Amino acid sequence: MQKRLIYDLDLPDLTEILTSWHEPAYRAIQIWKGIYQQYWQEPDDFSNLPKQLRKRLFEHFVFNHLTPSVIQKSSDGETEKTLFHLPDGKRIETVLMHYDVRRTLCISTQSGCAMGCVFCATGQMGYFRNLSSGEIVEQIIHYARYLKTRGDRVTNVVFMGMGEPFHNYSNVMAAIDTLNHAEGMNLGGRRFTISTVGLVPGISRFTKEDRQVNLAVSLHAANNELRSSMIPINRKYPIEALIPVLREYTTVTKRRVTFEWALIQDVNDTLEQAKKLSELIQGMLAHVNLIPLNPTQGYMGQATNPDRANQFRSLLESRGISCTIRVRRGIDIQAGCGQLANDDT
């Protein structure tokens, strides 16, 4: 019998299994709280359960599916990256970022990525497979357990690691529902941010669900020719299709969308691009997050210099568009935006 990953179950699933074992329903809540509040990682940790039930949990479920392999810490100590091996040989990376009061996890949703964005190390790898909801959840549990030993906790989760979250929509949302559950980790919806390269059907579906989860869109160019050269999916979902669904999103949900823009010297850091961007999103409930390009082996472009980044921001702000320049983090350990891959080096 192949064991199931326990993090793949939602509470009704777990309750149904316990009921089929002729266990009282409250046992499911005990197990759920043990997993998502105490972060217990093996059946014998559940001292509040009868020995026979602990034995049955061991026989049927896996509690440690991801194997941490390489752990790297940035020179400033503010960023930590873990390479995880999965049982089928696939690998993913997860990043913990320390801020003044926040502890933010950057989570992977796929092994590899099918979107092929030219400046992204994950996109350069190609696509291997989706992660299950439990494999997504376990990344958070791993670091929640780690932080708890230091008297700390996870405060925010961003789905900006390896993979395109809306390419694995159902599993990502199932993971969020598990982590949001009031009897478990109880992470509020606003503590999650999903980043997409612009999968229009996924955005439309997300809009209809009207979740409290934050939405970010990797835009990076304000015209189709340039954007398609950087982000191939733009050929299927061009700017003319993308921007209207984002306007609908902000109208329906009353929530702001964040546009991510990797500033690449002499490519998309010009004032002309800034003007086109301002025209594109004028009047939208939006924020622009400028990110000086992080280096990857497969792309020769260079990060814009600080003066041009400030000029880009100033032009947007002069036109009433909220804008910030993101502080780069974890570059020395390849943990920055667009740098995650699956190498053991």
| CB-CB contact of 287 with 324 (8 Å) | yes
Residues in the chain: 345
CA angle 312, 98, 316 (to 5 degrees): 15
- In the three-class reduction of DSSP (H, G, I as helix; E, B as strand; rest coil), residue 98 is classed as strand
- Selected catalytic residue, list 106, 113, 323, 337: 337
Cβ atoms of residues 144 and 154 within 8 Å: yes
Active site residue 93: yes
User: How many angstroms separate the Cα of 76 from the Cα of each of 68, 303, 327, 330, 339?
Assistant: 22, 21, 13, 8, 18
How many whole angstroms separate alpha carbon 40 and alpha carbon 60? 16
User: Which positions ≥6 away from 339 have C-beta within 8 Å?
Assistant: 121, 294, 295, 296, 330, 331
**CA-to-CA dists, residue 105 to 123, 173, 315, angstroms:** 20, 16, 32
Per annotation, catalytic residue among 80, 93, 135, 138: 93
How many Cβ atoms are within 10 Å of 14's Cβ, its own excluded? 18
**Alpha carbon separation from 173 to 159, 194, 343 (Å, rounded):** 11, 10, 28
> Residue 132 carries which DSSP code?
P
Let me know if 78 is a catalytic residue: no
Active site residues: 93, 337
